[in-house]
Amino acid sequence: MKKSLHWLDENLEEFILVLFLIAMTLIMGIQVFCRYVLGMSLSWSEELTRYLFIWCGFLSVSYCSKKCLSIKIEQFVAIFPRRGKALFKVVNHTFELIFFIYMIPFAWSYMMSSVHSGQLSPACGIPMYYVQAAPLVSFVLVAFRVLQRWVIEFRVARGENVFDPAHPERNTPVSFIQANAESLGENALESGIDNRINTIKNSNEEER
């Protein structure tokens, strides 16, 4: 059970997106084959592909939130040290979390309006609430992913050595040393490096 939850946490969005992408490719490939080889056209292929694309668009928001793949300006934040950057990201994730939690009731109302109307898609006859559920699922997933990022950045801002899957550069021994040095002060880092360098030089001279 624990392994299954861990796999879902790591791969849920990627798995669904790849699955939908494969489905869209196959459906449109069949449509092209039928139109140009068999001389006939499928009535449902474009509609189903469009709905899968809608789902991919909303799920990609959650994927980008998990991987920190958003369009942003880093020049100002980059001048701050590691913990300062994390503090800015905590503030940013707080606003993001408030926004998506605020949007969840509206997405729910949007989906339920289709449930009550009983509307079906023209070509496939699919209940439209299957399509209109995409914003609700997306906003819930995004809120969860943003909350995960908020916790990680908050712990980094406190100076903890945190494993960060979205930023591999934070998971190196050097980054942990820098994080500890920031909590102890820049002087401690410089003195520790100088002592280490002197120790290496002395050992090399003794060997000669």
pLDDT at 15 over 90: yes
**183 compared with 87, residue with greater pLDDT:** 87
Whole-model pTM: value is 0.75
Q: Determine the pLDDT at residue 176.
A: 54
Q: Is 72 exposed, middle or buried (0-12, 13-18, 19+ CB in 10 A)?
A: exposed
Q: At what angle do helices 45-67 and 134-157 cross, to 10 degrees?
A: 10
pLDDT at 76 over 80: no
Q: How far apart are CA 180 and CA 119, in angstroms?
A: 58
Q: How far apart are CA 10 and CA 163, in angstroms?
A: 14
Q: What is the pLDDT of residues 136-168, one digit of tens each?
A: 999 999 999 999 999 988 888 887 777 777 776
Boundaries of every domain in the chain: 9-171, 172-207
Instruction: For residue 178, name the pLDDT band (cuts at 50, 70, 90).
Output: low
Q: How far apart are CA 159 and CA 178, in angstroms?
A: 10
Q: Determine the pLDDT at residue 51.
A: 94
pLDDT at 174 over 70: no
What is the average pLDDT across 118-137?
A: 90
